[in-house]
Amino acid sequence: MPLNIASHRNEKPAGDIRQRNEKVIIAAAEQEFAAFGFKGASMREIARRADLPKANIHYYFKNKLGLYLAVLSDIIDLWDSSLSRMTADDDPYECLQRYIRQKIEFSWKHPLASRIFASEIISGGPNLEGYFSGPYVEWFNSRLEVFREWQRRGKMDAEVDPTHMIFLLWSSTQHYADFNFQITSALNKPEMSPEDYERATTTLTHIILNGCGIRPG
């Protein structure tokens, strides 16, 4: 279920310059929010990181909350849209294999956004109350029904609780972004390599899908 940030943006016609500037601003905001959190982040510092006048930031985003939600929007849209597209008629092996790979890739390529989201949730989600409302619960229950239908059709182990399976998918894949320092310390290297992420993807796919009785085809 996409995060609605429209009310916090200064809506103007889209164009190449706008898209490029928004991308630069959001990347700078990721760094600032990851370092200082929502309360400690400064629009002035975000402008400095983006190498743009502060007025330019407000040209695209009404306020700090709007920019904060924009940072979270990309990661939430990716996480949720992958699940949203799944239907009971799809092959669960193909769907979940693709989902795990996408989540791991996002943890690799956008770790700051994942950590900002984790920090927001740990603090009780004060800026996401509108997102985690009735429609979100309805969306989540609709996803559970897809998993339950797979179970009814014998495509997934009936002993698995779909609720906790989704929680496992979320937590295991996001771990590589949110707890990256712990992982690299254990591996005794400054950062994970592409091969490390590929092994993580293969291992999680094997453990989760086999553990849930989901087979190819």
CA distance 93 to 98: 8
- Indicate the pTM of the whole model: 0.85
Annotated domain spans of the chain:
6-67, 85-211
Fold of 85-211: Tetracycline Repressor; domain 2 (1.10.357)
| Mean pLDDT (10-residue bins), the chain, 217 residues | 53 70 92 93 95 92 91 82 91 96 92 92 89 88 97 97 97 96 97 97 97 92
Question: What per-residue confidence (pLDDT) applies to 62?
Answer: 87
89: helix, strand or coil: coil
Question: What per-residue confidence (pLDDT) applies to 168?
Answer: 97
Of 123, 99, 103, the residue nearest 113 (C-alpha): 103
Fold of 6-67: Arc Repressor Mutant, subunit A (1.10.10)
Question: What per-residue confidence (pLDDT) applies to 7?
Answer: 47
Which H or E run contains 1?
Answer: none
Question: What per-residue confidence (pLDDT) applies to 170?
Answer: 95
Name the residue type at position 188.
N
Q: Is the dihedral of CA 199, 201, 202, 207 positive or negative?
A: positive
* C-alpha distances in Å from residue 84, one per residue of 71, 194, 195: 20, 28, 29
Which DSSP string do the residues of 128-184 spell out, in sequence order?
-TTTSSHHHHHHHHHHHHHHHHHHHTTSS-TTS-HHHHHHHHHHHHHHHHHTHHHHH
